[in-house]
Structure 1
Amino acid sequence: MRSIRLVLVGGGVLLLAWGVFEMFDSVRLSRLPGVALWIAAAIVLHDAILSPIVFALGIALRRAGRRVSGTVIAIVQGGILVGSIVSLIAVPTIVAKNFAPPNPTVLPLNYGLNLGIFWLVLAALTVGLSVWAFVRARHPVTVFPDDSGH
């Protein structure tokens, strides 16, 4: 387990270093304050809003009693996490489309609508996986139903 953690942490540090290199290589110096503001807003959004929501949801699901398995809790929290990350990436595009000059080739899609559709699909998948995990936990599959082991 320790070696897996080391590989994951090392990979994360390498990706972070690559991202910093790419940012300084491709972003003009005059745009760095905007990037810093976006990163600060992402940290505040994560620490002040998203993390407490996911934490509170986990507590609420655990208080639902033994009726909810850890797998269901993990699925719901994972769905919220994925949706939050995609929203964090999409919101600047939605804002930019509202303030950008009307050039249909720069931001050609309806990003707000696409984000809404994404959340609906994500919610349906999360509910479907949660129901599947809940039913599977209630009715485990027996591999060998008879005592003979065949």
Structure 2
Amino acid sequence: MRATRILTGVAGTALMGVGAFLLSDTGDVTGVLLWLGGAVALHDALIAPLVLLAGLLLVRGGWRGPVRGALVVAGGVTAVALPVLLRPGPTANSSVLPLDYPRNWLLVLAAVAVATVLFTAARRLVRGRRRPPSP
């Protein structure tokens, strides 16, 4: 376990170095830092409290954790997708954002929901098999 942690730490540090290099290589460092700060603020001020509140009020039983996890993933995907979801209408150059991003975003959210249901059902199935029969 210790080797895994060390390797994960080294890989994370290396990726942060790559990110810092790429950030310094771009011409608009202020814009990137502003966008990153906005993403952190969006997460801490809106996404995290809504996820916790939804998990507390809407979900009971063994579904609370998986639903919270799914909401965190959905919130993160939405935060990353916001720039292309909120883009202005068609552009003169069709190669700039050529995909149907709202549809793809909805497909990713549907995949997260399906994965959450399958994970929770599998977990309940495994837990049900571990319990000894009642006398």
- Into which bin does the TM-score normalised by the smaller protein fall? 0.7 to 0.9
Which structure would you say has the larger RCO, counting Cα contacts within 8 Å and 6 or more residues apart? Answer: 1
Aligned letter for 2:73? V
Residue in structure 1 matching 2:76, options 80, 85, 103 = 85
Q: Tell me, what secondary structure is at the counterpart of 2:81?
A: helix
Percent of matched pairs sharing the same residue = 28
- Residues 49-70 of structure 1: CA distance to partner in whole angstroms, max 9, x if unpaired? 2222333345458x83xx42xx
Would you say 1:140 and 2:129 are equivalent positions?
Answer: yes
State the Cα distance separating 1:6 from its structure 2 match: 4.3
- Residues 18-76 of structure 1: CA distance to partner in whole angstroms, max 9, x if unpaired? 10111212x11xx2222122111111111112222333345458x83xx42xxx54433
Task: Report matched runs for 1:34-53 at 5 Å.
Answer: 34-53=31-50
Q: Which residue of 1 aligns with 2:30?
A: 33
Question: Any gaps of 5 or more consecutive residues in structure 1?
Answer: 143-150
Aligned letter for 2:103? L
Whether the aligned pair in 2 keeps the contact of 1:76 and 1:130 (CA below 8 Å) is no
Q: Which residue of 1 aligns with 2:106?
A: 116
For 1:22 and 1:80, the matched residues in 2 are separated by: 30
Q: Which has the larger radius of gyration?
A: 1
State the Cα distance separating 1:101 from its structure 2 match: 3.1
Aligned letter for 1:8? T
For 1:40 and 1:51, the matched residues in 2 are separated by: 15
Aligned alpha-carbon RMSD (Å): 2.9
Counterparts in 2 of 1:85 and 1:131: CA distance versus 1, 3 Å: same
For 1:56 and 1:44, the matched residues in 2 are separated by: 18
Whether the aligned pair in 2 keeps the contact of 1:83 and 1:119 (CA below 8 Å) is yes
Q: TM-score, normalised by structure 1?
A: 0.69
